[in-house]
Structure 1
Amino acid sequence: MKEIIIVGGGVSGLTAAALLSKKGEAVTLLEGSREWGGCAGKFQRGKHLFPVGATLGMGLEEEGIHQRIFNYLQVDPPESHLLDEVMYVHLHGRKLVFHRDRDKHVARLKNQFPGCASDLERFYALVYKIASRIRQLMDPLPALPPKTPGEWAILVKSLQPGTLALLPYINRTMGGVLTSFGLHRHGDFQRFIDGQLIDSMQTTSEECSFLLGCLALDMYHQGAFYVDGGLYRMAEELAKSAEMSGALLKRGRKVEKISKEQDRWQVEDHRGNRYEGSHIIFAAPIEALPPLLDEESGNTIKRVLNRKRNLTSWGTMTVYFVLDEAKIPDGMTLFQQICTGNGMSEGEHLFLSLSKRGDHLRSPSGFRTLTVSTHTDLSRWETKEKYDAYKQELHEKMLSVIEGTFSGFSKSIVDQYPGAPRAWERFTGRPDGMVGGYPQTTENALFHSISHRTPLDGLWVCGDSVFPGAGTIGVSVSAYHVCRSITGLKLP
């Protein structure tokens, strides 16, 4: 039996805890906040509950990563609802619908963009073909970049006859492929694509890896779900499973020091409690790790991060609303994007998540909650003066954009709670409030990703800053990679 300490109780840390404890390992998990889930957690104001960040459920379809994990743990996932119309996208006066059915999706887009219909159809045919081949390659869940002979063996065994078709695209951007189809001349269509990429790849078509971008554009067709209550319920089910298997899970334990004495790792929390194990899994942004280590070990991790130093990590501004259900404007569906300008941040691109009618886990009868977020450049929030002024400015801009799309929206507001980057730093421990991991550019994705292995023996990382990146799907896969590396665990 291995003694394993996990730092961080988000989806990645809880996934690792549940899998390892099910495997029979001795697991202790330390979470700094009072809530499970991290960026997929929750908070409550009065009788109303709000998802902190992530809201759209992915990976719950048959053979999806969450479903595979829940099956292995012999746990029922929280109740969810498969969406045939995944989201509405409001784009410069157009209202586009993202359909789960691929053929319907492409057909409707061709009607909306008749000037490029044939090119659009050929583009999506390529996207879906590439995505299908990548999924075949990724089904055994190979770790990238491979660091050991065993990881190379898993990758080589996952190769399929069609894998060679991916090679010409390995260094291409989504923008470059759009240009090859002439679609760069159709600005609104490119912005529609950018809206899908910014939420999952943390970058736009101009720099996004084409291969990963294909997965991002295709994943909603695999299955998108509304989870009753919110994605925090997945985190809570993972926590229950881990505890049933003997894991020790502690909330309100902020880790302040990680050190190694001989062959044993030592962890100290803010209360002075000490924990000891043969392995440490750091399930938080890797940028938060060096300050917890001694100087030499911290510098070792900093060298891993040096090649990422020029990448811009996003923050988010989020506004949480309580709405009077009777006054919600017509046409407000569960998930929506609003694009008002040419950019994908600072209120020009909003993602809206409305609670389902009758979801009384989130609000009592007669009310619904709405989470609205936009990407923001963290440099805009550096000083207190900048912070306070920009928080109010961006809050007002977001309200104006929603009201401009749904006339009368402001009359439905019962209460609202703005959350700027510092709130994310305070409640989820993310440095400077960064969210979503690194942009999945060609310089950073796939073989250029950060490995779950660190140069320090027995110290592992998982979460949105390592392969395969952002979202509950990505962080769960990275947690599985760590578990497989430590114990040889293989998901069926």
Structure 2
Amino acid sequence: MHDVAIIGAGMAGMATAARLQAMGLSTIVFEAHGQAGGCAGFYRRAGFSFDVGATTLVDFESGVVGGEMLERIGMPVIPGEPLPGYMAWLPDRTITLHRDPQKWRKERSRLLGDTPAHRRFWKLLDRLADVFWRASRRGVKLPLRSSADVTQAIRAVGLTNLPAVRYLNWTMGDALHAHRLRGDKALVGLLGMLIEDTVHSTVDEAPLVNAALGITIRGAGLTRATGGMRGFWQAFVKHYGSLGGQLHVGCPVTRVTGRLGEFLVETRRGAFPARQVVSAVPMELTARLAPQVVGERLKPFLRRDAPSRGGAVVVFLGVPEVEVSGQQFTHHQLLHDYATPLGNGNNMFVSVSAAGDTASAPTGFRTVMLSTHCDLKEWRSLSPQEYREQKTRLGQRLIALARRVYPRLGMDAKVFEAGTPRTYERFTHRPEGAVGGVRQTLGNANQNSVPHDIGVPGFRLVGDTTWPGLGTVACVLGSQIVAEGVIQQARRLTRISPRSLDRQVETPDAHAATH
């Protein structure tokens, strides 16, 4: 019998498993797909390695969220290309989104306005980002459900920063209106791009704090691993195995029964007993697989969040290096039209592998990923022919739009493939191919988010449909919170000596104080 069974080998599931394994618990991970990664995974074709979702690791440097996780499990920092920033291509201007805060302040003042209202607006966003990035790194947990949660949140935010908490009830639209900037086309256009890309929401619906974190995410540090996500996962899975963890790929879970101390995880390869279970798949799947009481607890959230799910379309290109030459940055984000709704190419992220990264592409070639958001309903009820035509048409549109950055892109592609919500549904088993968690609003984020512990002893949720939501950094932060809860439950089960666990586990505050 294992101490913990984890369902899903994406970023949240593997980070949770590795933490627990390093802390002395025996873990086993089940993954329906043929390899780890989930929506931060990869696939190979004709000598190229393509990232299927996330293309960068956020906050994975020493002493921060991802770096803290690697330190806890005894794994070196992943080799890669630290991004100094990337380019935002608006319809009427280009803006360099510098990682360096001073360079970014100068750039936004020069290209987005330097009026007193603009300065006050950016001062507010900078302050919120600073306060809540630090709070996230110090282990804040939402929704607050106990006095201990409240105490930890106050410590994480800091007494002097408590006034910033009032902005948890604001949207980005509220902040823009308060500063009389909602009509600033370029500013709103840029914010809309960054918000959709990071919290999958809109300017008028995105919670202000979440949006502030999202639009400053490059300041937390973006890194593209050598070899892309394939390079990351090869190293991570190997390290997890060296800790004694077990990963079963191509092994979908069909049902979970039992209770604390005696769960049974049923798969196509047999049944596996475990004392605790962590589900790192979307809550829709969790509700289908888990004991009935879990499904009942999730029903209100499922009804609430069903309209907030979204999808993505990605074009994968393997091209000669000459097609992506001439640009300082390897990552770009493009907005085609201020007046057109975002998605389907109007707001597209372009990620190119680094020069010399032969783990991503053969010598003389580069990988290119073009990604854009879409509505799931656009891909429902299509005949096979309609589906092929729509996929081809949108794929060609994305390449045409990307030629604003790389005029020769795709002229002599060795690989040209496209992924749609149907692709994600097939390979990641996500219902209808929904990716990245729900579109965040005041009604479903932060204090209204899906909790990791839904009140079923020994059963926890982690991943992008729970707090804090989408992205590699969010999933890693969630893994820290869930691992701590699992350890506390293990102590109560008394199988593991509490004294030995105390030697291995530090509190978030104690760890944060060392950095």
TM-score norm. by structure 2 comes to 0.90
Deviations 1:24-79 (A, max 9, x none): 11111111111111111111002111111101221123322111111122211221
Match of 1:301 in 2: 298
Query: Hey, what's the Cα distance between the residues in 2 that align with 1:421 and 1:332?
Result: 32
Deviation at 1:226, TM superposition (A): 2.5
Deviations 1:109-137 (A, max 9, x none): 222234x5443232212111121122333
Residues 1:315 and 2:311 are matched in the alignment: yes
**Matched ranges for 1:341-352 at <5 A:** 341=337, 342-352=340-350
Match of 1:30 in 2: 30
Q: Is 2:311–2:435's contact at 8 Å kept on the other side of the alignment?
A: yes
**Matched ranges for 1:370-385 at <5 A:** 370-385=368-383
Deviation at 1:236, TM superposition (A): 3.4
Query: Hey, what's the Cα distance between the residues in 2 that align with 1:259 and 1:393?
Result: 45
Letter in 1 for 2:128: I
Deviation at 1:435, TM superposition (A): 0.7
Match of 2:361 in 1: 363
Letter in 1 for 2:357: D
- For the residue of structure 2 that corresponds to 1:256, the secondary structure is strand
Match of 1:228 in 2: 226
Query: Hey, what's the Cα distance between the residues in 1 that align with 2:293 and 2:471?
Result: 32
Deviations 1:368-389 (A, max 9, x none): 0100111000001111325333
Deviation at 1:297, TM superposition (A): 4.4
Deviation at 1:228, TM superposition (A): 1.1
Match of 2:459 in 1: 459
Letter in 1 for 2:264: Q
- For the residue of structure 2 that corresponds to 1:451, the secondary structure is coil
Q: 2:117 aligns with which of 109, 116, 119?
A: 119
Match of 2:433 in 1: 433
Q: Is 1:136–1:160's contact at 8 Å kept on the other side of the alignment?
A: no
State the superposition RMSD in angstroms. Answer: 2.0
Residues 1:77 and 2:86 are matched in the alignment: no
Letter in 1 for 2:72: Y
Query: Hey, what's the Cα distance between the residues in 2 that align with 1:179 and 1:62?
Result: 38
Residues 1:143 and 2:148 are matched in the alignment: no
**Matched ranges for 1:233-252 at <5 A:** 233-252=231-250
Match of 1:47 in 2: 47
Deviation at 1:329, TM superposition (A): 5.1
Q: Is 1:18–1:239's contact at 8 Å kept on the other side of the alignment?
A: no
Moved more, 221-230 or 258-267: 258-267
Deviations 1:143-193 (A, max 9, x none): 211334443332243341323321331211111111222222211221111
**Matched ranges for 1:261-280 at <5 A:** 263-271=261-269, 273-280=270-277
Match of 1:214 in 2: 212
Query: Hey, what's the Cα distance between the residues in 1 that align with 2:283 and 2:411?
Result: 43
Residues 410/137 of structure 1: CA separation in 2 closer, same or farther (3 Å cut): closer
Query: Hey, what's the Cα distance between the residues in 2 that align with 1:150 and 1:161?
Result: 16
Deviation at 1:393, TM superposition (A): 2.5
Residues 475/232 of structure 1: CA separation in 2 closer, same or farther (3 Å cut): farther
Query: Hey, what's the Cα distance between the residues in 2 that align with 1:404 and 1:445?
Result: 36
- For the residue of structure 2 that corresponds to 1:88, the secondary structure is strand
Q: Is 1:258–1:265's contact at 8 Å kept on the other side of the alignment?
A: yes
Q: Is 2:294–2:454's contact at 8 Å kept on the other side of the alignment?
A: no
Match of 1:330 in 2: 326
Q: 2:283 aligns with which of 281, 286, 291?
A: 286
Structure 2, gaps ≥5 residues long = 489-504
Q: Is 1:24–1:245's contact at 8 Å kept on the other side of the alignment?
A: no
- For the residue of structure 1 that corresponds to 2:110, the secondary structure is helix
Q: Is 1:10–1:235's contact at 8 Å kept on the other side of the alignment?
A: no
Residues 1:92 and 2:91 are matched in the alignment: yes
TM-score norm. by structure 1 comes to 0.94
Deviation at 1:262, TM superposition (A): 8.0
Residues 1:403 and 2:377 are matched in the alignment: no
* Identical residues among aligned pairs (%): 24
Match of 1:414 in 2: 414
Residues 324/89 of structure 1: CA separation in 2 closer, same or farther (3 Å cut): same
